[in-house]
Amino acid sequence: MIMLLTGGAGFIGSAVVRYILANTENTVINVDALTYAGNTESIPTELQNDRYHFEQVDICNTQELTRVFVEHQPDAVMHLAAESHVDRSIDGPADFIQTNLVGTFNLLECARNYWQGLAEDRKAAFRFHHISTDEVYGDLHGTDNLFTETTPYAPSSPYSASKAGSDHLVRAWHRTYGLPVIVTNCSNNYGPYHFPEKLIPHIILNALHGKELPVYGDGCQIRDWLYVEDHARALYKVVTEGTVGETYNIGGHNEKKNIDVVTAICDLLEELAPEKPAGINEYRELITYVKDRPGHDARYAIDASKIERELGWVPEETFETGLHKTVQWYLDNRQWWERVLSGEYQLGRLGGNA
């Protein structure tokens, strides 16, 4: 198969690229605008693979997207390109509306026009897989209830609202035009190559530098954590085996309070990086509680029984094993995150933009 991935230089997208090239014979067309969170250094060995092709294209550019479809003739689309940071969406929502809504619309239209021109056998086999988030469901106020595929949408932030809108667009293009779509909604991802603004890498790197470890509010917000390589396996299984028109929730079965995630990282660093910055006796003393962000959801938790029952996917990593791998990766790959923190990863990019 020829698989067109949008956002393949991002955190989850790069994990999918690495998984497909390492475990299948498929070809990957990586379409990424290389905004601040896109980093081709997250797919280092893949750049020399003859089954990997990179296109620096913004999904809001209809003309260039059309060219990519015509030139590469994909058999499936995996749409991961998105603005995804809640805090950034609160400070500047316009980019989220443009990329997540307008960009998804453009991609749907380009895919539909391409799909309608395919021979019948290729048309029947084509898939448009839209990757979304559990944040579209809003807040869970109980302790036992879970998000299912039929949970009503109630997004709380500009980010989650823009993703909810893109989900609705994808389903409408299936209902109205017959485009063969599949939607997945995932819980919080973590793992290697995660951009340092997100919670887990932010805490790891701040601790290593002896900086404060900021925790919103009382730190009791609960998230379901999913190791990114488990997610990549799930996404590939869905796009190749999932049922057209269906939605699959993907979760890690790892509900944790934010403060417990932070203290777990501190404890792992005590074991794996015992030589601390000057003046620090233990990493936990760096924890600092800060003012909560507006509209902060209290709890997310995924019911992933459908994908397990219908497609046989279950996560391989527990939170403890996955977090250990993640912390160790950041300790072993200092050059990657130092180049991100300094901005060097943006220099000399394909297409000449810094």
What would the pLDDT profile of 301-322 be if each residue is shown by its tens digit?
999 999 999 999 999 999 999 9
Residue located via tokens 């000399």? 348
Predicted confidence at residue 352, as pLDDT, reads 35
Contact (CB, 8 A) for 59 and 101 = no
pLDDT in tens, 59-108: 999 999 999 999 999 999 999 999 877 778 888 899 999 999 999 999 99
Domains, the chain, in order of start with CATH, read 2-193+225-255+295-319 (3.40.50.720)
3-class DSSP assignment, residue 83: coil
Q: How confident is the model at residue 287 (pLDDT cuts 50, 70, 90)?
A: very high
Predicted confidence at residue 299, as pLDDT, reads 87
End-to-end CA distance of the chain: 33
* Residue 351 pLDDT > 50: no
**Other beta carbons less than 10 A from residue 62's beta carbon:** 16
Answer whether 0.85 is exceeded by the pTM: yes
Q: Tell me the C-alpha distance between 270 and 208, whole Å.
A: 11
Catalytic residues: 134-135, 159
* Residue 347 pLDDT > 80: no
Q: How confident is the model at residue 142 (pLDDT cuts 50, 70, 90)?
A: confident
Q: Tell me the C-alpha distance between 206 and 157, whole Å.
A: 26
Q: Are strands 181-186 and 247-250 parallel, antiparallel or unpaired?
A: parallel
Host H or E run for residue 72? helix 62-72
Q: Are strands 222-227 and 188-190 parallel, antiparallel or unpaired?
A: parallel
| CA 111 vs CA 1, 101, 132, 147: distances in Å | 16, 15, 18, 29
